[in-house]
Amino acid sequence: MFHIPNEKAVWLACAIDCEGHIVISRSGKWVGLEVAVSNTNLDFIRMFAVLTNAHINSELPKKLSKQIIYRARLRSRKDIENVLSQTIPYMIVKREKAKEMLDFVRTHPFNRSEFMKIQSKGYPRDAQGRFNFNS
């Protein structure tokens, strides 16, 4: 877990409140988590990415837009918990959504490999532990 200095945590909280979104999406047994910030200013997005370990991608202009839209995304449960736990005291607009996301991350702490282990228990296995689809 990395520490974010207070002045940077305030900046991140403002960025998420004003230019970002916090989303928990569900589809069957799959759950997707995302904290992201979008803007047309690449320096702004780079600053967010450097402070949070986020990945940056871009979208070409669509219809009325004439500028490239840059997006910095956090999808790792560890990174999301780290960033939100340090910025939530300074959030205003998205504080409730951030609390909901933190509660979810803390009560569902497993990662993809642990999730796949849970999923694979539904399939029969042979004596060596390999999947046995013939039974």
What does the pLDDT read at residue 28?
76
Q: Does 62 map to a domain? A: yes
| 9: its two tokens | 């945590």
> pLDDT tens for residues 20-73?
999 998 887 778 899 999 999 999 999 999 999 999 999 888 877 789 999 999
Provide the percentage of residues in the chain whose pLDDT is more than 90: 56
Q: Which residue, among 21, 27, 35, 33, has the nearest Cα to 105 in the 3D structure?
A: 33
Residue 65 pLDDT: 75
What domain range includes position 29?
A: 6-115
Q: Is residue 32 part of a domain?
A: yes
Whether 104 is in a domain gets the answer yes
Give Dmax over CA atoms of the chain in angstroms. 61
As for how many domains the chain has, the answer is 1
For residue 124, what pLDDT is reported? 65
pLDDT at 39: 94
